[in-house]
Chain A
Amino acid sequence: MIPLSHYLVVSAVLFAIGTAGVFLRRNLITILLSIEIMLNAVNLSFVAFGRQFGNLDGQIIVFFVMTVAAAEAAVGLAIVIGLYRHKESLNPDAFASLKW
């Protein structure tokens, strides 16, 4: 049986990669993908902790996280399509009209 700490380290590394992606990339689709990486890192933590505590709550929370991720991807991609229609660009720096 692999100890819990190993899973937590993997989860932390994945979350860090996702965070770095949100900050470093200049493409809206890649930023959304980085958010998915972060959600999956948290899911891994939930399942590992659920096994450690000996109950199923961790797996059920993961089910809800997946549903929210699906809703987020649908709305997020619809917004991306709308933004691309306006400016012909996926660079988040192109959408600075509300900034001053």
Chain B
Amino acid sequence: MPETLIFWGLSGLAILASALVIGQRNPMYSVLMLIASFGALAGLYIQLDAPFVAVAQIIIYAGAIMVLFLFVVMLLNAPQEDAAEWDRTHPLRQTGITRFGALLALLLVVQLTWALLQVNNVDVPVGAQGDPEALRSVRTLGRILFTDYVFAFEATSILILVAMVGAVVLARREGEG
């Protein structure tokens, strides 16, 4: 079953890379690991018959957002977390009430796992199953985006404009212009 093998390989890569993002102290390596994770997720999207999302994932996330992060990490000269500080403030090293909270979180995990195991019909397809070829086509996606979702699409353009103005205002040095 090559399909299953590819799924496990990609999801394992995504989870491992994401764990490494939060698993070490240098933010530069964190950003690079996150790009690897996004690449694996793009593979999963292709397996889910969503080629547009997969390409957008690579271009927008790995190409634009992560480059922005990398740029800021380099601009600020990548200050690493102080190891001593990290050890002192690490939540797992606190005592008392934090341990109690961790216990409650563990209890929540057990409860959720138990509850999810009770659901056994989640894999049955539901709703009006469209033509699988139409689901894959970017043409159909674009048509829906510019008819049913045209208001949200235009609102998105306002959002990006506001974000751009906000970023310029925030990053500007005080006292200029």
**Per DSSP, are chain B's interface residues mostly helix, strand or loop, or mixed?**
helix
**With A25-B22, A79-B170 in contact, do A54 and B125 touch (Cβ < 8 Å)?**
yes
**With A10-B15, A70-B160 in contact, do A55 and B130 touch (Cβ < 8 Å)?**
yes
For the complex, give the distance between the alpha carbons of A26 and B84 in Å: 12
Q: Let me know if B72 is at the binding interface, CB within 8 A.
A: yes
Contact with B along A6-41 (1 / 0, CB 8 A): 111010011001101101111101101110110010
**How many chain A residues touch B (Cβ–Cβ < 8 Å)?**
67
The distance from the CB of A75 to the nearest CB of chain B, in whole angstroms, is 5
Residues of A within 8 A of B91 (CB): 23-24
For the complex, give the distance between the alpha carbons of A1 and B3 in Å: 7
The distance from the CB of B53 to the nearest CB of chain A, in whole angstroms, is 5
**With A14-B18, A67-B156, A91-B81 in contact, do A74 and B163 touch (Cβ < 8 Å)?**
yes
Residues of B within 8 A of A77 (CB): 68-69, 72, 167
Q: Among B25, B75, B152, B173, which residue has its beta carbon within 8 angstroms of that of A64?
A: B152
